[in-house]
């Protein structure tokens, strides 16, 4: 019984030692970390925000451009006309608002007051005539028709007087707050339309957002393009990034900020300096274009490395080898 127990304990100890040795052999300590990846240069498709006929294309494929450099223009004449129309509508709205704020001129108020006084006199005379005709009609001296005519004239004179008095009061009181608010809203809408037309005219000129190299020239002068149609494809010069992949056990060695060296086949003895800028929080299967010694189906984590001293010899998609700066050899 004791002999069997001893054998079991020896077997367990052997298995534990073997497992510890295996685990230690799988750790990255003492190994040179080598990662595979590719150069990832960003590209941008430049397009107009307005539709129109292309007037000029200022660059060609392979040209280097700087930030703010004009690369193409749309015929601006239709946009200039739209801007002039919008400016006219804005001027009219501003004038209308100013007129309401200023109120009625004193001369017009005086004229309306005089008209009301004249109509008041006419209404008093019409009332007197009506009273006279009514007295005469009771004595059969005047006809019924004459009385009706006098009544109608009186009513008409009173209505004219009321209208004149209301016009005089409206001119003296000025515009209502609601009318002023409406005029202000119309002026603001016209201002917005004017600003939109000005922006469209500005958008007739297409400028590069940053420095880079023209990859493709998609349109030629005379082409009618819709808003968003690609005119030029630009490869951004800076920053140049490398997309590499690391296994989960190696993540502790490639934290953001880690200094690395990037090797290319074109200059194996002259690596580029780089810095790990991003480590993906999500695992993915190893891309087919990344050569590793592990199985293709191994899960890895994507790294983004910013090349500090990039030059024109780094091209989009170029395969590279990445090593830690403190572990790298002169050549891969």
Residue 60 predicted with pLDDT over 70: yes
Are 221 and 59 spatial neighbours (Cβ–Cβ below 8 Å)?
A: no
In eight-state DSSP terms, residue 140 is T
CB 232 within 8 A of CB 56: no
Q: Among candidates 244, 292, 248, 260, which has minimal Cα distance to 27?
A: 248
Confidence category of residue 312, pLDDT binned at 50, 70, 90: confident
Could you check whether the bond before residue 239 is cis, i.e. omega within 30 degrees of 0? Answer: yes
Q: Compute the mean pLDDT over every residue in the chain, rounded to the nearest whole number.
A: 80
Confidence class for position 298, pLDDT limits 50, 70, 90: low
DSSP state of 312: T
Question: DSSP states of 7-38 as a string?
Answer: HHHHHHHHHHHHHHHHHHHHS-TTSPPEEEEE
pLDDT at 143 over 50: yes
In this predicted structure, the answer to whether residue 22 has a pLDDT above a threshold of 60 is no
- Cα gap 151→268, rounded to integer Å: 115
Q: Which helix H or strand E contains 6, and what residues bound it?
A: helix 2-26
Give residue 92's pLDDT.
94
Q: What would the pLDDT profile of 168-201 be if each residue is shown by its tens digit?
A: 676 666 667 788 888 889 999 999 999 999 999 9
Calculate helix-pair angle for 106-138, 144-173, nearest 10 degrees.
160
In this predicted structure, what is the pLDDT of residue 14?
Answer: 52
The pairing of strands 212-217 and 64-65 is antiparallel
Q: What is the pLDDT of residues 200-236, one digit of tens each?
A: 999 999 999 988 889 899 999 999 999 999 999 998 8
Checking phi first, is residue 174 left (phi over 0); if not, alpha (psi -120 to 50) or beta? Answer: left
Name residue, tokens 């007739």.
Answer: 204
Identify the pLDDT of residue 103: 65
Distance CA 255, CA 258 (A): 6
Residue 126, Cβ neighbours under 10 Å: how many?
21
**Over residues 67-74, mean pLDDT:** 94
Q: What element of type H or E holds 119?
A: helix 106-138
Each residue of 86-129: pLDDT tens digit?
999 999 999 988 887 776 566 766 777 677 777 777 777 777 87
pLDDT for res 20:
41
Instruction: Please tell me the predicted confidence (pLDDT) of residue 39.
Output: 87
Which residues does residue 73 pair with via DSSP β-bridges, in sequence order?
A: 56, 205
Which helix (DSSP H) or strand (DSSP E) does residue 234 occupy? strand 230-236
Kindly tell me if the per-residue pLDDT of 280 is higher than 50: yes
Measured CA distances, 111 to 100, 115, 156, 175, 311 (Å): 19, 6, 21, 18, 83
Q: Find out whether 321 and 35 touch, Cβ atoms under 8 Å.
A: yes
| Enclosing H/E stretch for 46 | strand 43-47
- Measure the CA–CA gap between 185 and 207, rounded to whole angstroms: 35
Percent of all residues in the chain with a pLDDT value above 90, rounded to a whole number: 29
CB atoms under 10 Å from CB of 65, counted, come to: 22
Q: How confident is the model at residue 142 (pLDDT cuts 50, 70, 90)?
A: low
């Amino acid at each position: 019984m004791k002999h069997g127990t001893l054998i079991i304990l020896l077997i367990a100890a052997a298995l534990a030692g073997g497992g510890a040795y295996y685990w230690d052999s799988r750790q990255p300590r003492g190994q040179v970390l080598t990662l595979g990846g590719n150069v990832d240069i960003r590209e941008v498709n430049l397009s107009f925000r307005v539709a129109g006929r292309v007037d000029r294309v200022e660059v060609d494929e392979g040209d280097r451009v700087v930030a703010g450099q004009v690369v193409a223009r749309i015929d601006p004449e239709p946009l200039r006309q739209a801007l002039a129309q919008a400016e006219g509508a804005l001027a009219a709205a501003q004038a209308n608002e100013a007129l309401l704020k200023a109120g009625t001129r004193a001369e017009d108020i005086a004229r309306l007051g005089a008209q009301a006084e004249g109509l008041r006199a006419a209404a008093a005379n019409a009332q007197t005539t009506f009273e006279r005709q009514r007295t005469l009609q009771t004595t059969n001296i005047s006809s019924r028709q004459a009385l009706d005519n006098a009544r109608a004239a009186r009513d008409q004179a009173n209505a004219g007087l009321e209208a004149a008095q209301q016009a005089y009061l409206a001119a003296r009181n000025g515009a209502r707050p609601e009318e002023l608010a409406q005029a202000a809203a119309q002026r603001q809408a016209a201002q917005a339309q004017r600003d939109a037309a000005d922006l469209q005219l500005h958008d007739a000129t297409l400028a590069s957002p940053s420095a880079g190299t023209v990859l493709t020239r998609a349109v030629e002068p005379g082409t009618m393009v819709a808003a968003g149609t690609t005119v030029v494809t630009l490869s951004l010069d800076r920053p140049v990034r490398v997309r590499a992949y690391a296994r989960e056990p190696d993540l502790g060695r490639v934290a953001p900020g880690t200094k690395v060296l990037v090797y290319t086949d074109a200059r194996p003895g002259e690596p580029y300096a780089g810095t790990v800028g991003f480590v993906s929080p999500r695992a993915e299967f190893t891309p087919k274009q990344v050569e590793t010694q592990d199985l293709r189906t191994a899960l890895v984590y994507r790294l983004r490395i910013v090349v500090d001293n990039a030059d024109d010899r780094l091209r989009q998609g170029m395969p590279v080898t990445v090593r830690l700066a403190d572990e790298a050899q002169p050549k891969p």
